[in-house]
Every structure is written in structure tokens, then in C-alpha cells.
Amino acid sequence: MGFLQFGQPPTITADNALPGRSVPVLPNPAPHTVLGTPIDGPVPDGMEETFLALGCYWGAEKIFWELGAYTTSVGFMGGFTENPTYMEVCTGMTGHTETVRVVFDPNKISYGEILQAFFESHDPTTLNRQGNDRGTQYRSAIFASTDEQYETALRTRELYQEVLDGAGRDTIVTEVNKPGQTYFLAEDEHQQYLDKNPFGYNCHARTGLACPVAR
């Protein structure tokens, strides 16, 4: 998926990032192809949203719609380019990372359980890389939507680091971001990609170690 990038990536700032555009690349998204729910728009009453970056978003999105999310979508966060295209993000010149939006009912699945799946479903110790996918667009990151989510993410990262330390593994490099960053939807062909392409690419980088659920 995307372009393999080797060597030291350039530092992207608002001054040197690609310019982007004012119009969304997916202005009228279709309903979720698996769940039948809207993939964009307001969060329903009583539900929450969070944004998770764990490498290639094609396989990552499937993890969360199978986990019991109300809806999911894929897009980009953490960069500077407004309404970037997939190909622009693949250049590494937008500053974004591939991200899954997860809308969930906390009465059915807790945020701690979502973070457990997040950490167990990729390798959070590899910087700007998951498996053979290399580049800042594959960096590991959590974008919280509330202060409570932010604190839970910090606690979960700390708990999982203790597990990794006990197994002699490397340090987690996952970014934990406070609320306030903008999420941009990716193009339609990337939404629910593995439902549309059942034999499509799916990165399987993992640590193989269980992540505790923060309480």
C-alpha cells in the first residue's frame, strides 16, 4: 500500500506542506458498506468518537467495525494540508497519518477496550513504519476527542509499556494527542476497503503481547 519510503523523512511544517484544497475529497460519503450507518456527520447522542492511526488504514478499519463500533471511516489527521488526497499523503509531504475514525456506544464497548484492540493490532514500537510500510503516514497515533479519552490513552500506553518492558521489547512511540485536531475523510475507494476488496492488502505487524484495559 502506498509508496515505501527509506531514509530520514523531511520535517514537514505548515510552510513546506502541500497546499491542499478547500473542498473535501469526499463531499457526499455513502453509508458504511458493512454497518449501513453514516460514516460522516454528528456523533449520535450517547455515543463517542475517537481517531486511531495504526498503519495502513485498509486493514485497521476492519478491526473496529468487527469489534462492535457504530460506524467507522478512514481518513487523515495530524498534518497541515487541508483536505489532502491519498496520493498526496503518500508523498509524506502533508504531515498526516492514515487514521480510522471510530464511533462507538460506550455502553456496549468501552474506550479502554477500543485502545486494547488498537495496541494489540499493530506494532506501536516502530517509528514511522508498520511491517514493510514505511513513512510518516504510517506512524502510530491516538487522537482523543475528550479530555477523559486523552487521560485513558496515556494510562493505557503506560500499562502496555510495562508489558513490553517485561518481555524485553522496545519503547512505544505512539503519539497521544489532545482533542482539537481536524480529521479529513479519504476518497470513497478507501472506505471499508477490505469489504470491497476481500483479498486486498492487510498489514499484520503485531507485538504478539496482550494489552491491559485501563480502568
Whether residue 11 lies inside any domain: the answer is no
Domain that holds residue 66: 48-196
Known catalytic residue at 56: yes
DSSP classification of residue 2: -
Q: Is the model's pTM score more than 0.85? A: yes
Give the CATH number for residue 160: 3.30.1060.10
Q: Cα angle vertex 137, ends 197, 5, to 5°?
A: 95
Does residue 23 lie within any of the structural domains? no
Q: Please tell me which residue in 56, 90, 203, 211 is annotated as part of the active site.
A: 56
Residue 90 lies in a domain: yes
In a domain, 64, yes or no: yes
Q: Based on the structure, what is the number of domains in the chain?
A: 1
Query: One digit per residue, pLDDT tens: the chain, 215 residues?
Result: 443 444 455 799 999 999 999 999 999 999 999 999 999 999 999 999 999 999 999 999 999 999 999 999 999 999 999 999 999 999 999 999 999 999 999 999 999 999 999 999 999 999 999 999 999 999 999 999 999 999 999 999 999 999 999 999 999 999 999 999 999 999 999 999 999 999 999 999 999 999 999 98
Indicate whether 157 belongs to any domain.
yes
> What does the alpha-carbon distance between residue 148 and residue 214 come to, in Å, rounded to a whole number?
12
Please give the helix or strand (H or E) that residue 162 lies within, else none. helix 147-166
Q: Is residue 3 part of a domain?
A: no
215 in a structural domain: no
157 and 163 in contact (C-beta within 8 Å)? Answer: no
Note whether residue 2 is domain-resident: no
